[in-house]
Copies of this chain bind each other. A is one copy, B any other.
Amino acid sequence: MHLLISVSVCLLLAVTAVAQKPHPCKSPPFMVGRVTLLSPKGQLVAYERFTYDALGKRIRARVQGTNHNHSFHVDILALFQEGVVYEISYRNQTCKKSALKAPFQPIQIPQNATFQAQVIIGSSSGPGQGLLVNNWFGDIPEQKAKYFLTFTEFGCLPITNLYNSEQTGWILTSFFDLVIGIEDPEDFIPPDFCDTKPVDKGEEVVTDFFEVLLKKH
């Protein structure tokens, strides 16, 4: 009887321990929010407002920043399911359409990421003074890159993504002002002055969505 109780307690502890360790998670499918990007090597500072739809695989991003002291502004609508990306300028009433061959990357902790630590940003000493988050890290061998991710424990919301490869150096992406849901569904509808015919073979091809965002293409 005594042994049985011991075994049961051990099993219970084991189950609790497994349950307590955070698991890779996926962010809510609909979000709006803001992002800052900082790349010391690329001398890049960028600020972005985005609308994110993981179900429809659509992203709208309005980016402004400076790249090697050259300031830029882009308004991007990426429809990954249709394989098309629009670069929109309301001021000039222009809309540059390109074929989008990049895969849609949902905001999530990759399944093969390694859990590093659970920490409190700020403090748990008073109400409204802290935020419980999980830190993860991992490698992307094909890019010779490593990443460090911080996501909230509650809600699986992105906080920071620190990415490092020999090619790019360190890139720090910080998320904030996230709201779960889509504020304006029209964010995903190209304006009237865009050519919305299916992409043909003549169009420029974009394979790196990140480069479109930073106007490097």
Interface residues, chain A, with chain B CB atoms under 8 Å away? 33-34, 38, 40-41, 119-133, 152-155, 157, 159, 162, 169-170, 172, 175-181
What's the Cα separation between A64 and B183 when bound, in Å? 45
- Nearest B residue to A181, CB-CB: B125
Q: Choose from B120, B155, B175 the contact partner of A126 (Cβ within 8 Å).
A: B155
Quickly give the copy total for this chain. Answer: 2
What's the Cα separation between A169 and B159 when bound, in Å? 24
Given A41-B40, A154-B129, A178 contacting B122 (CB threshold 8 A): yes
Give A71 Cβ to nearest chain B Cβ, in Å.
Answer: 18
**B41 lies within 8 A of A178 (CB):** no
> Within 8 Å CB of A153, what residues of B?
128
Given A40-B169, A128-B153, A128-B154, output 6 extra A-B contacts at Cβ < 8 Å: A38-B162, A40-B170, A122-B155, A126-B154, A128-B131, A131-B131
**A154 lies within 8 A of B179 (CB):** no
Q: Choose from B41, B119, B128, B177 the contact partner of A177 (Cβ within 8 Å).
A: B119
**B123 lies within 8 A of A178 (CB):** yes
> Within 8 Å CB of A169, what residues of B?
40
